Amino acid sequence: MPESQPPAPQPSAPTADKARLLRKLGDAGVLVLPNAWDAGSAAVIAAAGAAAVATTSGGVSWSSGRGDGQQLTRDEMVAAARRVVAAVSVPVTVDAEGGYGPAPEDVAATVRALVAAGAAGVNLEDSHAPGGPLYGVAEQAARLRAAREAAAAAGLPDLVVNARTDVFLFGIGAPERRLDAVLERALAYAAAGADGLFVPGLLDLGVLRTLCAASPLPVNAMAGPGGPSVAELAAAGVRRVSVGTALAQSAYTAAHRAATEMLREGTFAALDGALDFGTLNSLLSV
């Protein structure tokens, strides 16, 4: 008889509770998710009152000395996620880019590792690389199905799987056909077990209203300066709002501005109003 395989390690009770909470938060109205890029930023975001924290692959990559676009390895991304999870008491949903490999088995391995790290949710995108091309509809559905099955097998069936499609972000196909293309993917992704549809690059409120009314999955929009407010997005039917790399960009811009002032002017006005040392230190002290 073949040797029996050891049982897969089960997530802790707090992880299962956080996954259920993240699911409930997504059902209760619009969920606003400021994106963190490391443990410190996650702690600050949670202290500001966030009910959950999302990571941003770009910010995580930059803080690790790499560019965005799966330039980190799976192990490096999971290690960063584990530090974020450990820094906050709220649920954490992790940007896992394209799953760190093209095959369903690659996506499954990524999901298993994130479950072990304490993630309550995961974002999985349908682009091969920044700018495209995209995986075929059936191909991406198989990858999402592998994620759903891997989470269940790892003991976390309530893991929230947010399926990102880059049709609008990368301008895939003729403009007049993009909404239909997203809806085709939404139907397939829902059938594969996804819990949400993330459509970065789409902030036209009229198109969003049509998409939200027709999509079988709740829609996540990526907001930013100059775009619609949370209230406007919610009125269009959006259920989840995140900002991608925008918070990380803002933080790095503040550092650049302060450093430039110090070096050119010899003054420190840009440092005024910063969170004090004791506040930041207390957020990360055990």
DSSP string, 169-222: TTT-S-GGGHHHHHHHHHHHHHHTT--EEE-TT---HHHHHHHHHH-SS-EEEE
Distance CA 249, CA 103 (A): 32
Question: What percentage of the chain exceeds 90 in pLDDT?
Answer: 91
For the chain, which residues score pLDDT lower than 70?
Answer: 1-12, 286
Distance CA 72, CA 129 (A): 13
Domain that holds residue 170: 13-245
Q: Is 111 among the domain residues? A: yes
pLDDT number for residue 28: 86
Cis status, amide bond into 133, omega within 30 of 0: yes
Question: What is the sign, positive or negative, of the torsion defined by CA atoms of 9, 88, 93, 74?
Answer: negative
pLDDT number for residue 142: 98
Q: Is 94 among the domain residues? A: yes
Alpha-carbon distance values, 131 to 37, 127, 150, 169, 237 (Å): 22, 8, 28, 8, 27
pLDDT number for residue 13: 72
Q: Find residue 256's DSSP bridge partners.
A: none
Q: Is 226 among the domain residues? A: yes
- pTM flag (> 0.95): no
Q: Is 255 among the domain residues? A: no
Q: Is 8 among the domain residues? A: no
Q: What is the token pair recorded at 102? A: 């093209």
Q: Find residue 134's DSSP bridge partners.
A: 127
Task: Please count the structural domains in the chain.
Answer: 1
pLDDT number for residue 7: 53
Helix H or strand E segment including 36: strand 35-36
Question: Tokens 């209760």 appear where?
Answer: 28
Helix H or strand E segment including 118: none
Nearest to 42 by CA among 11, 86, 75: 86
pLDDT number for residue 130: 87
Q: Is 3 among the domain residues? A: no
CATH number of the domain at 92, please.
3.20.20.60
Q: Is 274 among the domain residues? A: no
pLDDT number for residue 3: 47
Q: Is 177 among the domain residues? A: yes
